[in-house]
Amino acid sequence: MLSYVFQYKFTILMAIAIALLSLVPGDNMPASFLFAIPHADKIIHMCMYAALGFVALSESHRDHPRLGLHVLLLFSFFTLSALIEILQGTVVAARSAEWLDLLANFTGLIGGYIVYRLIGGWKIFRFLRS
């Protein structure tokens, strides 16, 4: 069990950071000009989950990609994102659950998979497989 924690150390840290950022009440978020951009939150959702998917797939330590493992990883993160959306709608004040956020999360995970398949084997990402 502990070997999986060390194998997926960056993935776990990113998942915790995404969960914490997603569950912070909206009133506590700093004001930024980025939030004035239409649908900026959807773009942020896509980027966060694309990065999470890419890092998780890179840390999977597979020289030969296994589609079953990749589907399981991506499905688990999609399930996590759905759970976070449910918590936003039921527990967190000043937040709401949105179907478009869930769609942006899914799109980000698929984008992360595509980027992993294109450039995941590059030497620059070798530190993720250590």
Q: Answer yes or no: is 49 within a domain.
A: yes
pLDDT tens for 48-104 read 999 999 999 988 866 566 788 889 999 999 999 999 999 998 988 777 888 999 999
Q: What whole-number distance in Å separates Cα of residue 99 and Cα of residue 36?
A: 21
Q: Give me the domain span that covers residue 15.
A: 2-24+40-129
Token pair in block for residue 58 = 């890179």
Total domain count for the chain? 1
Is 34 among the domain residues?
Answer: no
Read off the pLDDT band of 4 (50, 70, 90).
confident
Backbone angles phi, psi at 95, to 5 degrees: -130, 155
- The answer to whether the beta carbons of residues 116 and 67 sit under 8 Å apart is no
pTM of the model: 0.85
